[in-house]
Structure 1
Amino acid sequence: MLDDSLFDDPDRLTEADSRGLLRSAALAGAQVRAAAETVQEIGFDDLADGRPRSLVLISRPGLGPSACGVLAALAGPSCPVPVIVAESVPVWVGPLDVVFAHTPDPGDPTLAEGVATATRRGASMVLAAPADGPVAASGAGRAKVVPPRIPVPDELTFAHVFTVGLSVLVALGLLRCDTDQLADELDREAERAHPGQEPLMNPAKSLALRLADHEALLWGVDLTATAVAGHGSYALGVHAGLACDVASHAQATTRHALYRSVRDTGSDLFADPDEDGGATPRVFLISTRHDERSEADERTATRSLPGADLVAPGESARADAVLRAAVLALRFDLAAVYLGLAAGTLGGPGRQALAVH
């Protein structure tokens, strides 16, 4: 049961958010600045000593899959260096490879073993991980460790992990990004999503309301958007207990029965899940809308699914896929927290307020 009246009452929202998750999520810009400062102190310039044979992104449980997925998507299929996403360090890594990994668990035994192997074989190793513990120690002083400096829950550290991984791609000449601009964009998104902003003007509250009481089908209209949809699914599962389907729109069209069903029924904004026998499927088309190709893909998808809900960043930084992907990721984080507070899935005063509503 959703207490959507909570969204119109900033004081009740603050009371319900006993863990300060909204504030933590809003510190994404600060996380970017802190990570970029640490990277500058450590120095990533030597990662670009000759083009590496491969860039390996290690996807450990938690934010790893979504952060690595977005980074790989941004590098794109035309990247001159193979970008490989793996759950553990491959046995073949050597001195010609660069490895990036994230874990919130300083004692992750699988990653600790992989880091030790990679550094012993001469691979360049970058870790977005705590500075103390077996994982960091396994780098034997040769791994570049960038620990989080902003104290927020692990599930809200996407901006930190993303910035460290992005810094690796920038150092290798595979992407360009101004981290100051990235931080500023995330600050602006957090301001738009402030608890005091009414739902119509607050993109995170609005998205939370549209997601509520639906089976969310998060379908990306481009490669990067599909990866962001993966992060959205993670965030909604963590905070709101919402299970989501994630796919590219192109892949979704091949699931004929499901696609035909949502295309024919559309997305009724006023559908009553109690009358309909439970939550109804609703398509959310995720779009970064950062170039002509992605805009064309968006037009194709919206024509095919006119009743779908389009989730896209605003007009700022329009041509920059990195900034637009990061903004959407933050929007999903904030929307998931808002939805969790209103649905009582985060516990604390929010659950009590919901029980008496």
Structure 2
Amino acid sequence: MNATRAIDLEDADGLLAADRDGLLRAASSAGAQVRAIAAAVDEGALETLRSSDRARSVIWVAGRGSAESAGAMLAATLGGAASAPITVLSEAPPWVGPLDVLVVATDDPGDPAIVGAAATGVRRGARVVVAAPYEGPLRDSTAGRTAVLAPRLPVPDEFGLCRYLAAGLATLHAVDPRLSIDLAALADELDAEALRNSAARDLFTNPAKTIAARLSEHHVALAGDGAGMLALARHGSSTMLRVAHHVVAAAGLADAVVALRSTAGFGSGLDQAASSADALFHDEEFDGPLPERLRVLALTLTDDRTVTAARVAGLDDAYLVTAQDVPDAPQPSTGAGRAEQQLAVLAVRLEMAAVYLRLVRG
């Protein structure tokens, strides 16, 4: 049996040759997915949502995966600014009615919970948006009485979060035109992020490759503070498992800090791992191998970077990750400004890191 040749992250040709399933292209398509949603909106896909009557609520129904994460991010970032509260559920609530906007988001048009939610919304007179393939039972149950934002690009669900985000942003803007939503700017930012993470760029100027290198051969936790960042951490953890077949924990920042301090000797558990000083003078020939240390990637918004940095100060195995982080780039990125844009940028970065981690493992 021939051994699988390991591929280095700096080997652009090797990475591209190993990408037989087109994962890099799929992970780089976030900008195109957002533009497809914008094109559908320009064609009038959401005209039925526009009304002089103010919506009582926006209900986001998603069963699992990227759609659920996108709903949590939308609620966390825009819940306080939108004129109607945003609720994320796994099925249609019993109180849904004509004053509500119901968004069903999934990659499976045969999901019974999603089909049932859409049918309930239509039957009770709610304004229903389908952010899913409009076919099969989902189409049959709604009989054309919905606004449809079906995917126009065939992309695996693990790379579809930005499409769901764009569908949610477009829906919120249709319901509340006062919200400042610019899908074209979001698409441009995601394209720029994909370019920064392209295989041809070396490790020290490629944020996704940098994350992949930090994840490799370590126990790693993605940590976030707040609902939006926690949703991003869960999405990153899920993507790492589904794409790279690599187990990465998702946790709140407070929990991750406690774990790091205990393993670094600042709290309980001093006997469970070596401190930084111990590691410096450790000799494997005499002392045996060091216990594997926990490494934490702290995901944070640009405005929260200073606070997050203070919380992980003194912890050698904690790394901050923000949308503006472009290591040693000749022209540093200006970064995405709005919170939902930063979350989308970081989602693309984590997705591409998962692809690189899979490719280098063969």
* Normalised-by-shorter TM-score class: 0.7 to 0.9
The answer as to 2:186 corresponding to 1:176 is no
SS in 1 for 2:154: coil
Shift of 1:76: 3.8
Residue of structure 2 equivalent to 1:58: 61
Q: Does the 8 Å contact 1:136/1:145 carry over to 2?
A: no
2: distance between equivalents of 1:53 and 1:221?
Answer: 29
Q: Does the 8 Å contact 1:75/1:175 carry over to 2?
A: no
> Counterpart of 2:355 in structure 1: which amino acid?
V
SS in 1 for 2:295: strand
> Counterpart of 1:227 in structure 2: which amino acid?
A
The answer as to 2:337 corresponding to 1:319 is yes
Identity %: 38
Residue of structure 2 equivalent to 1:335: 353
Shift of 1:109: 1.7
Of residues 120-129 and 224-233 in structure 1, the stretch that sits farther from structure 2 once superposed is 224-233
Residue of structure 1 equivalent to 2:104: 101
Q: Give the greater-gyration-radius structure (CA).
A: 2
2: distance between equivalents of 1:142 and 1:19?
Answer: 37
Q: Does the 8 Å contact 1:284/1:308 carry over to 2?
A: yes
Q: Does the 8 Å contact 1:69/1:227 carry over to 2?
A: yes
Counterparts of residues 1-357 of structure 1 (less than 5 Å): 5-49=7-51, 50-77=53-80, 79-173=82-176, 175-250=179-254, 252=256, 256=258, 258-262=259-263, 264=265, 265=275, 275-276=289-290, 279-289=292-302, 291=303, 294-303=304-313, 305=315, 307-314=317-324, 315-343=333-361, 350=362
Q: Does the 8 Å contact 1:223/1:248 carry over to 2?
A: no
CA RMSD of aligned residues (A): 2.8
Q: Which runs of 5+ in 1 are unaligned?
A: 344-349, 351-357
When residues 301 and 145 of structure 1 are mapped into structure 2, their CA distance, relative to the original with a 3 A threshold, is same
Q: Structure 1 length as normaliser, TM-score? A: 0.85
Residue of structure 2 equivalent to 1:354: none
When residues 260 and 175 of structure 1 are mapped into structure 2, their CA distance, relative to the original with a 3 A threshold, is farther
When residues 306 and 281 of structure 1 are mapped into structure 2, their CA distance, relative to the original with a 3 A threshold, is closer
SS in 2 for 1:303: coil
SS in 1 for 2:43: helix
Shift of 1:222: 4.3
Q: Does the 8 Å contact 2:82/2:179 carry over to 1?
A: no
When residues 91 and 249 of structure 1 are mapped into structure 2, their CA distance, relative to the original with a 3 A threshold, is same
SS in 1 for 2:250: strand
Shift of 1:305: 4.0
Q: Structure 2 length as normaliser, TM-score? A: 0.84
2: distance between equivalents of 1:304 and 1:72?
Answer: 33
2: distance between equivalents of 1:300 and 1:46?
Answer: 48
Q: Does the 8 Å contact 1:39/1:164 carry over to 2?
A: no
When residues 284 and 2 of structure 1 are mapped into structure 2, their CA distance, relative to the original with a 3 A threshold, is farther
When residues 332 and 234 of structure 1 are mapped into structure 2, their CA distance, relative to the original with a 3 A threshold, is same
Shift of 1:44: 2.4
> Counterpart of 1:302 in structure 2: which amino acid?
V
1: distance between equivalents of 2:6 and 2:69?
Answer: 28
Shift of 1:260: 3.0
2: distance between equivalents of 1:220 and 1:129?
Answer: 28
